[in-house]
Structure 1
Amino acid sequence: MSPMLTYDDIVENLDDLPSLPAVVMELLNSIDQEDVDISVLAKKVSHDQALTAKTLRLANSSTYGLQVKVTTIQQAITFLGFQTTRNLITAAAVTGCFAERQCAGFDHKAFWRHSIASAACAKVLARQMRFNQDYAFTAGLLHDIGRLVLVACYPREYEKAIAHRDAHDCYMREAERAVLGIDHVDAGMALAERWNFSDTMRLAIAHHHTPEAQGAGFLAAIIHVADAIAHALDLAQMPDGLVPPVSTVAWTALGLDEEIYLQLFRETELQYEEIAMVLLS
């Protein structure tokens, strides 16, 4: 039996992970800066043609409802605002950042399909709750990013965790803890710190399974419910189709009725198709 891992082990291994393009790191660092020169950042992003193309395809998808077609990052910022554009750039960069690793039982595409479904659902939920949709979309997309960290840094151990889940018919998080000693939430937190995510984003990643925890924040409740809905709709066709238990606290905090949820499911499915087409092509 290999020794159990700790949070510090993950932090030490983050050096082996792919890093985001420098300009994306700069965008993440500029979250709370008032005096950031947007035109300079727009110019820097446009030097990365693949990233620009993916971002603009996302901006022009019907999800964002623009009446005009944007052809430059600067135009996207003008029509969608800096924050939305920055989150689209981050989404485009992160989904292309992790190379597929050989890890038996881990389906890279299904992972991203579930993440995109959660992001689409979180965005729709946030709009309903009059909460910041950009934060919700990005947090939904990145809530499980710790799984990719574990697969990238410990592929053999993660294979054993998947086998454990299949043998014991348990949730992946329980299997991770049993085999590795830590779970994808720990790994996600370590990466969120390394990549300088905002505190709001870190809290959502940290508490998407425990939204009732003290100080978890409202975004964690949105992501928690979006994650459960994405599992229930099974847009990703995940092999481990277990729908996670939903926190009564989070469900009550959102306070939505059945009719709104049915509308929400339909909208999530529509948005998911389009976003997945852009981010996974």
Structure 2
Amino acid sequence: MSDLVITPDQFKARVRELPSLPAVVMELIACLGNESLSSEELAAKLSRDPALSAKTLRMANSAFYGMTRQIGSIPEALTILGMRTVRTVVVAAGVTGSFKPPQVPGFEFRGFWRHAVGTALCGQALAHELRMDSDIGFAAGLLHDIGRIALACSYSDVYAKVLAHQRQHDLLLVDAERSLMGIDHAVAGARIAEHWRFSPVIVEAIEFHHAPSMHHGPGLVGLAHLADAFSHALGFSGDADETVPPTPPDIWAAMFPGEEACMAAFAQVQNQFEDVCQALQV
């Protein structure tokens, strides 16, 4: 019953109309996993974006980091918190501030970002337990649903029908999207990530987070899938009808860190969540 069939290539052509992330954020995400950018270079790049610098400092001074004194500058933040932490803060601040609320009835903009932040924190905590790169785990979690807001902004009338169809038939969002649009937010998000020249592992994590068994190995894809499921299970979006997507047995077996580690990660994320959301104003 497709209302509008959109191919991935057609959507890719629309990506140019979407807002771009700040240049320094795109560079940071693109180079995750290597240390090619120095703290001096990062400070210099941030100095050219006062709004992003201010948001970065607000988060650096949030209760999340428990600073005993105020951090007054980006170089000071880099000295006290370290390059990796500030890099994560800049990515979070830049991504969450780049989109305006889409004019789509039923699209909960605040709930969308709260779920994204929850998934980012789950991805970071799980990556630590699984001895994976926690910065990449955070970024993949934060960006995993970026295709949702892109589809809502680009095709607002149809996306309103998608959300109504989802509620009426009690479907997973990806199934409602495919039914009415012929594309889902995972594929759309991957095309955006390619356009922004993110690393292939981030692109794959976004594209396959709802179908991790279709990918050639769990890795970051499995991590993004499990972080998304955990964020839904913890109810971070505030949606009373939140549905936890099913996790394939092979992904569960490969990625589940054990009950004790999982409970510890859950407790850590729940303690962090409101502080991070408040600092990011979501």
**Structure 1 and Structure 2 fold alike (TM over 0.5):** yes
Aligned pairs for 1:37-186 (under 5 A) are 38-61=39-62, 63-64=64-65, 69-186=70-187
* Larger CA deviation: 161-170 vs 28-37: 28-37
Distance 1:12 1:110, change over 3 A: same
Query: Deviations 1:55-104 (Å, cap 9, x if unpaired)?
Result: 12323445456677543222333444434422321211110100012101
Unpaired runs of 5+ residues, structure 2, are: none
Moved more, 75-84 or 32-41: 32-41
CA distance 1:176–1:46, shift in 2 (3 Å): same
1:17 paired residue number = 18
Distance 1:25 1:50 in 2: 16
Residues 1:278 and 1:216: Cα distance change in structure 2 (over 3 Å): farther
Q: Is the deviation greater in 43-52 or in 31-40?
A: 31-40
CA distance in 2, matches of 1:10, 1:274: 35
CA distance in 2, matches of 1:33, 1:267: 26
Mapped to 2, the partners of 1:228 and 1:168 lie a distance apart of 21
Residues 158-182 of structure 1: per-residue CA shift (max 9 Å, x gap): 0111111111111000000000000
Q: Which string of whole-angstrom CA distances, capped at 9 and with x for unpartnered residues, describes residues 205-231 of structure 1?
A: 122112223434411212211111111
Gaps of 5+ in 1: none
Equivalent position SS for 1:212: helix
Tell me, yes or no, if the aligned pair for 2:145 and 2:185 is still in contact at 8 Å.
Answer: yes
Which stretch shifts more, 266-275 or 77-86?
Answer: 77-86
8 Å Cα contact 2:4/2:180 also seen in 1:
no
Aligned in 2, Cα 1:28/1:177: closer, same or farther, shift over 3 Å?
same
Q: Do the aligned residues in 2 keep the contact of 1:204 with 1:216 (CA within 8 Å)?
A: no
Matched, 1:252 2:237: no
177-186 vs 125-134, greater mean Cα deviation: 125-134
Q: Distance in 1 between matches of 2:43 and 2:262?
A: 37
Rate the CA distance shift 1:280–1:264 in 2: closer, same or farther, 3 A.
Answer: same
Question: In structure 1, what is the Cα distance between the partners aligned to 2:161 and 2:205?
Answer: 27
TM-score (structure 2 length as normaliser):
0.90
C-alpha contact 1:103 1:155 (8 A) present in aligned 2: yes
Q: CA RMSD in A?
A: 2.2
Measured at CA, do residues 277 and 34 of structure 1 come closer, stay the same or move farther in structure 2, by a change above 3 Å? closer
| Amino acid across the alignment from 1:251 | W
The TM-score, its normalising length taken from structure 1, stands at: 0.91
Shift of 1:183: 0.2
The 8 Å contact of residues 203 and 217 in structure 1, kept in 2 or not, is answered as no
CA distance in 1, matches of 2:37, 2:230: 37
